[in-house]
Amino acid sequence: MAGFMHRMFYLHFLILLCAVFCWQGTPAQEINFPTAKNITWKSTNFKTILEWDGKPTNFTYTVEIRNQFDGIWKRKCNYINKTECDVTDLLKDVNATYDVRIISEVRSDEILTEEFPYADGPSFKPYEQTIIGRPSFESYDFNEGHTQLKIVIKDPISPYRFENKTIKTVRDIFGTDFRYTLFYRKADSTGRKEAYSSTNEIVISTSKGEGYCFFVRATIPSRKTERSSQDSDEKCTSSVGSELDLTILVAVVASLVLVIVIIILLVTLCVCRKKKENKTKETEPLHDF
């Protein structure tokens, strides 16, 4: 009887062990999907995209982001076949440092997520690493006496908003740690001067009757790298004080050339037509009356 009980115990144990293995599904060591390579953060004005190499074939990718402050992994771009992911909405705390890992996985009710292979990417701190986009100009005008030129810069916008739903500019986020540098010169000179402002307005002293050319650059002085944006396009004013955008000047000149060409064509057409009419009259026979 005791032997029978022992055999039944071992039988139940084997059945239970088989059930556990069946429930666990595929063991972790049998999963050998390739992992993401060359994971890179691409961020401009806090709009942030993750990119990596390794086109998936029989599996998909899922991105996980962790704020080092709270240590919680958050999933993004679940089960994708692409090799990029927009993670902007997970990086709203721009002063935090973030970790990333990209999981190579398939959809399965039997295989636990922890069993899938993944690749770690470099950490990222938006405040220190996002690239500042190229600024542009909103307006620029001389005062009535032509002694000052007021330049208003169009702030680059971020993907984030204030609580009242208004858009945050990049300058809003950096605050006093953000500076514009204006490089300007007289239109007929190569000598360049600089002016600085932590707002989006810069006023420079000018000489009456002189035109000026200028461009602007955004800078984050506290940074060790990626301190400055690209330079804006250069703009120029005329000597009489009205704005003279170089692109508008080109358009005006092109329009004048087109008008002149049309006039020449019309005159040529009229002359040719007149000559043809005269030739026709000369070849017509005379009629006796």
pLDDT 10s digits, 174-201: 999 999 999 999 988 888 999 999 999 9
- How much helix, strand and coil, in percent to the nearest 5, is found in the chain? 30, 35, 35
> For the chain, what is the mean pLDDT?
85
Q: What is the pLDDT of residue 284?
A: 57
71 CB-contact burial (10 Å; exposed 0-12 / middle 13-18 / buried 19+)? exposed
Q: Looking at per-residue confidence, does 88 or 246 come out higher?
A: 88
- CA distance linking residue 218 with residue 183, whole number of Å: 11
CA distance 129 to 224: 10
Same domain, 148 and 240: yes
Positions of E strands within 88-147: 98-105, 118-120, 136-142
pLDDT of residue 102: 97
The pLDDT assigned to 111 comes to 58
Question: Alpha-carbon distance 149 to 142, whole Å?
Answer: 4
* Per-residue pLDDT band at 16 (split at 50, 70, 90): very low
pLDDT given for residue 22 in this prediction: 44
Task: Give yes or no: residues 190 and 104 share one domain.
Answer: no
Same domain, 89 and 170: no
pLDDT at 24: 47
**Range(s) of the domain holding residue 52:** 26-129
Task: Give me the CATH number covering residue 229.
Answer: 2.60.40.10
Residue 112 pLDDT grade (very low, low, confident, very high; cuts 50, 70, 90): low
Where is pLDDT greater, at 124 or 115?
124
Number of domains, the chain: 2
Does 90 share its domain with 45? yes
Residue 251 lies in a domain: no
Whose tokens are 């029989």? That residue is: 58
d(CA 39, CA 51) in angstroms, rounded, equals 6
| Model pLDDT, residue 76 | 97
Are residue 159 and residue 209 in the same domain, yes or no?
A: yes
Q: For tokens 């000179």, what's the residue?
A: 189
Report pLDDT for 35.
95
Closest CA to 174 of 188, 160, 185, 184: 160
> How many angstroms separate the Cα of 93 from the Cα of each of 41, 88, 225, 237, 271?
16, 10, 20, 41, 74
- Do 181 and 203 have their domain in common? yes
Taking the C-alpha atoms of residue 249 and residue 147, their distance in angstroms, rounded to an integer, is 24
In this structure, is residue 215 part of a structural domain? yes
Residue appearing with tokens 């990209």 = 102
**CA pair distance 153, 136, nearest whole angstrom:** 6
Is residue 54 scored above 50 in pLDDT?
A: yes
pLDDT digits (tens, 9 = 90+) for 221-263: 999 999 999 999 999 998 655 444 455 556 777 888 889 989 9
Residue 228 covered by a domain: yes
Please provide the distance, in angstroms rounded to a whole number, between the alpha carbons at the two ends of the chain: 152
- pLDDT for residue 189: 85
Question: Computed over its alpha carbons, how large is the radius of gyration of the chain?
Answer: 35
The per-residue pLDDT for 188 is: 86
pLDDT at 15 over 60: no
